[in-house]
Structures are given as C-alpha cells and as structure tokens.
Amino acid sequence: QQPVQSPQAVILREGEDAVINCSSSKALYSVHWYRQKHGEAPVFLMILLKGGEQKGHEKISASFNEKKQQSSLYLTASQLSYSGTYFCGPLETSGSRLTFGEGTQLTVNP
Amino acid sequence: NAGVMQNPRHLVRRRGQEARLRCSPMKGHSHVYWYRQLPEEGLKFMVYLQKENIIDESGMPKERFSAEFPKEGPSILRIQQVVRGDSAAYFCASSPGLRDTQYFGPGTRLTVL
C-alpha cells in the first residue's frame, strides 16, 4: 500500500524552512528519501533504519518513528537548489522493495 | 565508478511495435528494479530482479510486458504491441543487496505515436 505524503506541494522563499511528512500503514524496516528535479532521475538523499534515528545531509535532515510508521524530512534555510519533488520510499519489515509516495513538490523562490 | 546506465534515453514507437529498454546496473550491484513514471506523477514499481531471477513482478501488467536480467549483459524491459498509454518515463534502479539503497539511472522516455 502506498505511503501518504504531506503536504502535496509547498512554496517557500529562500531561507525558509519546510517539513515533509511520510506515513505508512505497515510496519517499516527503513525509509528512503529521494529528490527529483523536473526531467531528471530521482537522486538519493538518505536512508533511515528503524531505531528512531535521525540523519542529516547539509541542511536537510530526517527522522523515523518506527512505532508510528512515520518519517519526516526537514529542510532548513532552504536554497534555490532544493526545489524539486521529494519522494519517500518506505521498506516494509516483511517486504523486499520500496513503495514510493506520490511526492511533495517543493518550490523555493528568491 | 559509473552509475546506472539506461539506453536509449528517448524512444519513439508507433502503436503495435515493440519497445526494448536496457539497464546496466552499477558495478557490484546484482539487484535491479524497474519503475514507471507518468508526467507529474509518482514512481510506480513494476518489477524487481536479481541475476537470472524475477523476485517480484507484482507491479507489472500481466500482458505485453516482460523483464529479464540475464547472467551476462543488461537487464531488459520489453513491451510488446505498445499502446499510447505506455508513453511514460521508465526508470531503472540498482542496489548491491536486498534492502540496500537504490540508485537510479537517467531513465528512458518512451513516446508512442
């Protein structure tokens, strides 16, 4: 079953923060986050394994609450280069492949 | 270390023709995944393969679509008798093992006239 991402779209001014949420109805082993720019391939951002860990990549970080089957992506002091569509890809505990959400379209304006 | 390679990058077919999409995984990766993406939509899983084996094809249409990953050579996604609804971007991803990070290729944009 497909995870639910929210919001569907968000528009920011450069320097503002954003949070993207990903929620699943299944028990999860890990959550993968990707960013895709228009006309390009998805690019891997980070992977979070169960254990409630939090990871960071420059000013982008994420958390994973395995009990709630939720993950959140935090974008701090956004830059123009952050624009794109963000996908979460949870991996179910009993599964062998990712199921991607519909994506969150992020636009950062000057 | 070269990334995931896909060819062709763009493919135009007329209705009823066959489309063959190729994917060479990253060096050392033996797991390959195929996804389809319609414009402005998400990534839809199609099939997951390991060398010479189909592990999960639950996302693949039952008719006209097939996939293989031979012992030697690239993985191939084959679409027979294409229809206009097959027009989409087809992405391949590879990983070194089960549950590892997947790295995506540049995709093949299929247009059916």
**Tokens linked to A39:** 């006309």
Query: Average pLDDT in the A71-98 region?
Result: 92
Chain B: residue whose CA lies nearest to A92: B99
**Does the structure show a pLDDT above 80 at A55?**
no
Query: Average pLDDT in the A25-34 region?
Result: 92
d(CA A97, CA B35) in angstroms, rounded, equals 11
Q: Do B106 and A40 touch (CB under 8 A)?
A: yes
pLDDT for B36 equals 97
Residue A81 sits at φ, ψ, to 5 deg, of -70, -10
Query: Average pLDDT in the B27-33 region?
Result: 94
Check if the beta carbon of residue A75 is closer than 8 Å to that of residue A60: yes
> Which residues of chain B have a CB within 8 Å of the CB of A47?
101
Chain B: residue whose CA lies nearest to A104: B42
**Does the structure show a pLDDT above 70 at A53?**
no
Largest separation between any pair of C-alpha atoms in chain B: 38
From the CA atom positions of chain B, what is the Rg in Å? 13
Tell me the β-bridge partners of A31: A48, A90
B41, B53, B57, B102: best to mutate for the A interface, most A CBs within 10 A? B102
Nearest CB among A44, A97, A103 relative to B48 is that of A97
Chain B: residue whose CA lies nearest to A35: B104
d(CA A6, CA A102) in angstroms, rounded, equals 9
**Tokens linked to B108:** 């093949």
> Which residues of chain B have a CB within 8 Å of the CB of A86?
none
**Does the structure show a pLDDT above 70 at B103?**
yes
pLDDT for B66 equals 97
User: Which tens digit of pLDDT belongs to each residue from A14-24?
Assistant: 999 999 999 99
Residue in the structure block whose two tokens are 């958390």: A63
pLDDT for B40 equals 83
Q: Is the dihedral of CA A59, A100, B33, A65 positive or negative?
A: positive
User: Which tens digit of pLDDT belongs to each residue from A74-85?
Assistant: 999 999 999 999
Query: Average pLDDT in the B11-36 region?
Result: 97
